[in-house]
Structure 1
């Protein structure tokens, strides 16, 4: 017969699973068809919906980080348009950094990216919003200082050395967030072997993620009541 200690351990494992369970991985094609430049693209899936916006700092003028229009190309992916993007890509050319902001309608674990087009190099910086305060949904107010993100609730998930197209895994630590930033490699977010800021150009074709399911309070209460009942029954039997 199972001991109370074994039962408690089993219930503890069950509780942790219910509190932080991951759904089936979903891959969203970001470039299902050709579209003109817009301020945002919206995608739906079986696990979560997401809105995508583009952000960049200009290499001229006040250089402030601001929202920019984005475009998508069939079989290539989504890119950010501005005066210094000859290929309308997510890039870090001429002192200007581009990034795509993914705003999900629920917390997700972003686990994979797919580059559909690149030129020169395609190193990627990935950040997640992990701050305690609610995120405003945009990157306004940072001036030209990308590093300021790290003092405003954003965390670096990883910098990835890429020099070609295709899918690759990210976020091995399983960070979960509702907001994700995928940009051309930015030295403000760290350095690493093989990472170079040498005109990285890429278009993001797809993302893979898993929705993070959080148990309802009622489910946890039932588990705790069950544990209490088992302990009471054990005492009576003794």
Structure 2
């Protein structure tokens, strides 16, 4: 009996060690300063920027998890996404992260990701399942060129606790222009196709949350998102738009509006989930066979 219990304990330990997936916290930075494998795009003008970053970020590698970025936009009508999504290059103009010029933007800064004239978004394709936890923005603006812009005052936990039009916040808080973004994750089995999809997305695109208190933040942890801890290999970060399909259980934070949200994507942070290697799976199968054989021998002995 002691031998049988020892065998079961050994098998259980083996199964636990082999079956569990590994995880690691990681940070991916999309500003070219000090990042390996990313070209210097500061000399790309608006007229040529679409030719500057075809392979943008394809070589970034953190903890054996790679990420690739691609851009998309859809037309707006009165602040609601209409038509279909179109693929578009990202731009690195004057630093501070990745933006976009989709040809229909009006006003400065037209090289940021925004919801002015078109709604612009970035698709992040990870090589393994990832739980995003925060999003870093290298630039934010909510009313370009306007005087007395309302800024958000954020506490040490990353939560906007007040606003100011003077640029001065209370002690212990940080001032920054607040922008609204929407965060989606892909729940389908195969890789997603964004180009040509309906403006509202929906389907296997789950709206994880709408965040109305995002400010410039280039220090990890960044603007906090995804408090439910959802995972996916494909994430879409978009300027907010009320025309998106409103999924049940989404996270909503801050005051949201459909325009004047300009930002550059500086970085994301999260936890990667690595599935067992093929060899590990094979050993796990052997362990299962051993468990089955042990149970058969016990049955015969009992008979």
TM-score by length of 1: 0.77
1:150 to 2:202 alignment: yes
Q: Which residue of 2 aligns with 1:179?
A: 234
For 1:80-95, list aligned pairs within 5 A: 80-82=100-102, 83-84=104-105, 86-87=108-109, 88-94=111-117
For 1:61-140, list aligned pairs within 5 A: 63-73=83-93, 76-82=96-102, 83-84=104-105, 86-87=108-109, 88-94=111-117, 96-120=118-142, 121-132=178-189, 134-136=190-192, 138-140=193-195
Give the helix-richer structure, 1 or 2: 1
Structure 2 unaligned runs (5+)?
Answer: 34-39, 143-177
Q: Which residue of 2 aligns with 1:165?
A: 216
When residues 105 and 53 of structure 1 are mapped into structure 2, their CA distance, relative to the original with a 3 A threshold, is same
When residues 218 and 172 of structure 1 are mapped into structure 2, their CA distance, relative to the original with a 3 A threshold, is farther
After superposition, give the CA deviation of every residue in 1:197-238 in whole Å (9 maximum; x if it has no partner). 232111110111333221243132144245457767988999
TM-score by length of 2: 0.63
Structure of larger gyration radius: 2
**Residue pair 1:91, 1:201 contacting (<8 A) in 2 also:** yes
- For the aligned residues, what is the CA RMSD? 3.3
* Separation (CA, whole Å) in 2 of partners of 1:226 and 1:169: 46
After superposition, give the CA deviation of every residue in 1:65-121 in whole Å (9 maximum; x if it has no partner). 201121125761111212316321111123x21100112233322222111110013
1:224 to 2:280 alignment: no
* Separation (CA, whole Å) in 2 of partners of 1:43 and 1:74: 22
Matched length: 226
Structure 1 unaligned runs (5+)?
Answer: none
